[in-house]
Amino acid sequence: MIVLGIDTSCDDTSIAVYDSSKNTVLSNIVSSQHQFHLPFGGVVPEIAARKHAENIDIVFEEALKVAGIKVKDIELITVTRAPGLLPALLVGLTFGKGIAYCLNIPFKGVHHIEAHVFSPFIGSTPPEVFLALVVSGGHTLLILVEGLGKYRVIGKTLDDAVGEAYDKVAKMLGLGYPGGPIIDRIFKSYSGEYLELPKPKVPGFNYSFSGLKTAVRRLVEKGYPAEQIAASFQKTAIEYLVGKLKKALKEFNVKDIAVSGGVSANSLLREKLLELQEEGYRVHLPKMEYTSDNGAMVAYVGFKRFLLEGEDPLTLNAVARLGL
């Protein structure tokens, strides 16, 4: 099947074309809105929706062109319907429904987190059981996956998501937005000493990042150099993330790990995961282009869901918050 995957859940307008018979992504176009949100230090929902409305048609044309297909070749429409910024989600959802209606082809709504969970397996096949760590701007989740739709959330953040903490710390340090890639770049070139930051004490496999953020604020007020604070923050945040992941792997006796979401692009996180690989775990990471929001992961999971349970009605609505 030729599958169109659409994601407008946050600040990227993305459309991909996926060929399910070859398990291949034919195109994956992402139009980033970062520059428009930059002055606000975070994503403004109404601006996001307006920019999606402006760009979605262009992104669509480009996705078809790169894939070398025509509109009439599309056989299934898949769109992120939850969770995300409601006005932003509605743009992609309505666009997708329009195409499905005109071509009289099936339409499938997709859960954005489920799409991230399976993003490391685009083009391959997921293991039957794996532990998924989803780390993005909106989510920090540890999920025991026992097949499509069989999820046990064993840990989540009790306050800020890790990507959100990155963005807030970068804002405090006046480094720009989004903060993750900027702090990661600073970390890579930093060779000085690290400052002591507290690892939040939260029971079980849950996470908390707000205390870390407050500790960073104190260091800023004390006048430490921005590079030193940024590098120290990354070291603490990533060690904290991986520490809990290791505990969960032991507790649930799982050998396969899939890490996804924007923060899975992080160099230190990838380094620490390689160490786990040396310890005998199988680590699955998305290709760089599938770490942040993208249409390919939506098409990949949307197709799987379509096979499992069929199409959705065109009355399907967008939902800002929805559990897995």
Number of residues that bind Zn ion (CB under 5 A): 2
Between the CA of residue 222 and those of 170, 194, 198, 231, what are the distances in Å? Answer: 17, 15, 16, 16
Q: Does 264 bind Zn ion (CB under 5 A)?
A: no
C-alpha–C-alpha distance, residues 19 and 26, integer Å = 7
User: Cα–Cα distance between 287 and 10 in angstroms, integer?
Assistant: 20
- Residue 184 assigned to a binding site: yes
Q: What is the DSSP letter of 157?
A: B
**Radius of gyration, alpha carbons of the chain:** 20
Structure-token pair, residue 150: 């069989």
Minimum distance from CB of 277 to ligand KG4 (Å)? Answer: 19
| Minimum CB distance to ligand KG4 smaller for 261 or for 302 | 261
Residue 274-293 contact track with ligand KG4, rule CB under 6 A, x = bound: ------------------xx
Alpha helices, DSSP H, located in the chain: 34-37, 45-67, 86-103, 112-118, 162-172, 179-189, 210-221, 226-252, 267-278, 295-309
Q: Hey, what are 153's tokens?
A: 């959330």
Binding status of residue 293 toward Zn ion by CB under 5 A? yes
Q: For residue 12, state whether it binds Zn ion (rule: CB under 5 A).
A: no
d(C-alpha 2, C-alpha 48), whole Å: 28
Q: Is 136 in the site for Zn ion (CB under 5 A)?
A: yes
Q: Is 263 in the site for ligand KG4 (CB under 6 A)?
A: yes
Closest to ligand KG4 by CB, 5 or 180: 180
Q: What is the DSSP letter of 261?
A: S
Which residues does residue 5 pair with via DSSP β-bridges, in sequence order?
A: 16, 78
Q: Is 41 in the site for ligand KG4 (CB under 6 A)?
A: no
Applying CB under 6 A, does 209 fall inside the site for ligand KG4? Answer: no
Is 52 annotated to bind a ligand? Reply is no
In single-letter form, the type of residue at position 114 comes to E
Q: Quick one: which of 7, 114, 160, 167 contacts ligand KG4 (CB under 6 A)?
A: 167
Q: Residue 94's CB: how many other CB atoms inside 10 A?
A: 14
Region from 50-58, 87-95, 224-232, 256-264 binding ligand KG4, contact rule CB under 6 A: 256-264
> Which residue among 155, 261, 286, 302 contacts ligand KG4 (CB under 6 A)?
261
26 binds ligand KG4 (CB under 6 A): no
For the bound state, the minimum distance from the C-beta of residue 166 to ligand KG4, rounded and expressed in Å, comes to 5
Spatial CA neighbour of 233 closest among 262, 176, 194, 272 = 194
Contacts with ligand KG4, 123-152, as mask; x by CB under 6 A: -------------xxx--------------
Q: Which is nearer to Zn ion, 132 or 219 (CB)?
A: 132
Of the candidates 305, 294, 303, which has an alpha carbon nearest to the alpha carbon of residue 264? Answer: 294
Nearer to ligand KG4, 67 or 269 (CB): 269
Yes or no: say if 96 and 52 are a contact pair by the CB < 8 Å rule.
Answer: no
Residue positions forming the annotated binding site for Fe cation: 112, 116, 293
Q: Which residues bind Zn ion (CB under 5 A)?
A: 136, 293
Q: Which residues bind ligand KG4 (CB under 6 A)?
A: 10, 136-138, 163-164, 166-167, 178-181, 184, 261-263, 265-266, 292-293
Residue positions forming the annotated binding site for substrate: 134-138, 167, 180, 184, 266
